[in-house]
Chain A
Amino acid sequence: MESLQNSMREIVRNLLTEHKIDLAIGYEKGTLPLRTSPCFVTKEGEIQKLVWNSCCDLDLTKYLFKPENQNKKIGIIVKGCDARALTVCIAEKQIERNKTFIIGMPCLGIIDKKKVEAAVAPKEILEVKVIDDQIIVKGKDFERTLSKKDYLQTSCLACRYNNPPIYDALVGGKPLELPSEIDWDKIIAEFEAKSPEERWAYFSELLKDCIKCYACRNACPLCYCKECFVDQTQPQWVGKTTDISDIMFYHIVRAFHVAGRCTGCGACTRACPMNIDLRLLSKKLEKIIKDRYNLEAGLNPEEPPAMGAHKAEDPQEFITEGH
């Protein structure tokens, strides 16, 4: 991990000193254990702040859209899932490829803070060290060693791209293998075998806690619209109440808007203050696009996004023929 971090700093140092980039966006140590914060490096002296560890969960793509970062050459540090989101943004012509220097990092598997906290609850975590595949959690008069593989983000457990599919510089050599433990196809098939009433009941129950804070939208690297449909007032599409109908409306349209773009990074689920797990829906979206159009988001920046393209031979088995 140390060597990866040093190689990363070295790449950023070279880029900055050779004036290939104006700004590097990476991670720095957070103010709380198991946290990292985004870090913006413009000078050589600040490079030491950059870190790389198993808590670098944020997707930094979001910062490329900030008005102050326009017209700058930016080096951005990405994991596999971040790179896929970035690829979607490039394919959608929202980010200029030649102004972005992508520094790919091999993902170490991101630790789920909530899972670790639950493991030692109600005690407070004061210090965390990650050594290889062990997490050493320290607090006031306790110390525990946890196996990292049991405390990874759920989205990491089904990860197939922990190395970035696109990059300008790749740190580290051999890709780290993560276990793909969750078989989403099976979970989705089982869910679809239920009756519509059961499925509706599942989603009503899942979403009933939603407080419509829109954190899932804000965290999503692909929600870059300057004005989101939820903020529109003329016409006001989404009711502002927490009536289940309004909540459903929001989640259906949000799902629709990320269809064919969502890479299943899990940022929405991570951001949710009410611990709503939206992954079943986002995995289903991935499957719909794969089954219908044989497309997978975020792998090829040249390929138009699924919902921005069409073919004469697209499947249309759902059309009413009126016999």
Chain B
Amino acid sequence: MTTAEEHPKPEEEKTWEPKILAFLCNWCSYAGADLAGISRIQYPPNIRIVRVPCSGRVNPFYLIKSLQAGWDGVLVSGCHPGDCHYISGNLVARRRFAIIKDILEFMGIAPGRLNFSWVSAAEGEKFSKVVKEVVEKVKKLGPNKKLVKE
């Protein structure tokens, strides 16, 4: 889904590492990331974590603003549907994410830039896999050029 223009040049490709901003909900995914840490499960060091009370707290502003500020990808992770600490915050978030993702993709932002996942506090292993998959996807896309404010 990418063109040569978005790909980094061969010499840059070796050294370029994507920077990914991750919004993790306090009750599940942040604890899941913590579990991955204390269990010594390896995952790529490309993510920077912002702890949020709930995935429903993540305003779509944050996602677009992150891309505008030059982050190469964004990951939002919350509790599995039905497990939300606030009953339905993640269900509200799910509709929002679906819409904002559809809008951005329609306008031409590559699908891998915005990522959403459900990771529970017991899924340290899954958290590492999700991060690996997201980093992989964003690496393929190359540095974020669209939307970035120079």
Inter-chain residue pair count (beta carbon < 8 A):
128
**Can you name the residue of chain A whose Cβ is closest to the Cβ of B3?**
A197
Chain A: minimal CB distance from B148 (Å):
6
The answer, among A200, A309, A321, for a CB contact under 8 Å with B117, is: A321
Partner of A245 from the list B115, B134, B149 (CB cut-off 8 Å) is B149
B38 at the interface (CB under 8 A from A): no
Contacts of B96 in A (CB 8 A): 307
- Candidates B61, B91, B127, B148; contact of A311 at CB < 8 Å: B91
> Given A316-B94, A323-B129, A249–B68 Cβ distance below 8 Å?
yes
Kindly list chain B residues whose C-beta atoms are within 8 Å of the C-beta of A312. 81-82, 91
In the complex with contacts A245-B149, A252-B104, A237-B5 CB distance below 8 A: no
The secondary structure that dominates the A interface is helix
Q: In the complex the two chains form, is B133's CB within 8 Å of A322's CB?
A: yes
Does B30 lie at the interface of the complex (its beta carbon under 8 Å from any beta carbon of A)? no
Assembled-state Cα–Cα distance A269/B61 (Å): 24
Report if B27 contacts A (CB, 8 A).
no
> Assuming A197-B3, A314-B94, A322-B117, is B81 touching A252 (CB within 8 A)?
no
Question: Is the pair B130, A322 in contact by a Cβ cutoff of 8 Å?
Answer: yes
Chain B residues bordering chain A, tally (CB within 8 A): 52
Check A322–B129 contact: CB distance below 8 A: yes
- In the bound complex, residues from chain B placing their C-beta under 8 Å from that of A249 are 64-65, 68, 147
* Chain B neighbourhood of A320, CB < 8 A: 75, 115-117, 130, 133-134
* Contacts of A248-267 to chain B: CB distance below 8 A: 248-249, 252-253, 255-256, 259-260
Q: Which of B94-123 contact A (CB under 8 A)?
A: 94-110, 115-119
Cα-based distance from A195 to B61 in the complex (angstroms)? 25
| Bound: A310/B95 CA distance, A | 7
B140 within 8 A of A: no
- Residues of A near B115 (CB, < 8 A) are 320
Partner of B98, one of A192, A200, A201, A315: A315
Task: Decide yes or no whether B92 CB sits under 8 A from chain A.
Answer: yes
Contact between B68 and A314, CB atoms less than 8 A apart: no
User: A residues within 8 A CB of B5?
Assistant: 197
Mark interface residues in A288-323 (1 if CB within 8 Å of B CB, else 0). 110011000000000000110111101110111111
Once the chains bind, are B107 and A200 in contact (CB under 8 Å)? yes
Shortest CB-to-CB span from A187 to chain B, Å, is 12
Is the CB of B8 closer than 8 A to any CB of chain A?
no
Residues of A within 8 A of B146 (CB): 200
Contact B95–A196 (Cβ < 8 Å)? no
**Does A139 touch B at the CB level, under 8 Å?**
no
Are B91 and A310 closer than 8 Å at their CB atoms? Answer: yes
Residues on the B chain within 8 Å of A316, using CB:
81, 94, 98
Q: In the complex, which residues 198-256 of chain A have their Cβ closer than 8 Å to any Cβ of chain B? A: 198-203, 229, 237, 239, 243, 245-246, 248-249, 252-253, 255-256
What are some 20 contacts across the A-B interface (CB < 8 A)?
A: A195-B3, A196-B1, A197-B3, A203-B107, A248-B107, A252-B104, A281-B103, A285-B103, A288-B98, A307-B95, A310-B88, A312-B91, A315-B98, A319-B116, A319-B117, A320-B116, A320-B130, A322-B127, A322-B128, A322-B131
Residues of A within 8 A of B (CB): 191-192, 195-203, 229, 237, 239, 243, 245-246, 248-249, 252-253, 255-256, 259-260, 281, 284-285, 288-289, 292-293, 306-307, 309-312, 314-316, 318-323
